[in-house]
Amino acid sequence: MGQVVSINISKGKGQRKKPITGAWEMVKGCGLKNDGHANLAPYDQSENSHRQISLLAEESIEKMRQAGLDVVPGDFAENITTRGISLLSLKIDDQLRIGDEVLLRISQIGKVCPNRCAIYYQAGDCVMPKEGIFAEVIQGGRLKVGDEIDKLLP
């Protein structure tokens, strides 16, 4: 079982996200309400519609700190920073329950970055291509820091 360490949003894509406080709404088929990466309309059929939410482990961020980078949750543009759940052990179609309401389906492991993005230049490196995961929102609801994250059995 894991835990939500930070919930992060930004106005646009390709930029660091800022941690938010309090409960935040996760919208089915879209992502985090008011986040630049959320689909503009439910069930968007664009190329990246399966990347509604991004997750990165606090443990991955800590590796970057150990490498000398001054980084915090949200610096790699992840929506949800986690602790205590092995994101890298998840597979496509695995499902995660977060808190009492939110249900995610893993849709992509890592990503291809054809060019170094703004995050790379701002942070000095980017772990999202190797250690970040993406998911679709199957069931929306309220999300808050401290919520438990459970992998559902198939």
Residue 136's contacts (CB-CB under 8 Å, 6 or more residues apart) are: 29, 49, 50, 52, 53, 104, 105, 107
Can you list the domains of the chain with their CATH numbers?
Answer: 2-152 (2.40.33.20)
Dump pLDDT digits (tens) for 21-62: 889 999 999 999 989 877 655 544 555 578 899 999 999 999
For residue 112, count other CB atoms closer than 10 A to its CB: 6
Residue 149: strand pairing partners:
2, 98
Instruction: Tell me which residue of 130, 114, 121, 117 sits closest to 57, measured CA to CA.
Output: 130
User: pTM score, two decimals?
Assistant: 0.87
pLDDT digits (tens, 9 = 90+) for 93-129: 999 999 999 999 999 998 766 566 666 666 666 777 7
pLDDT at 71: 87
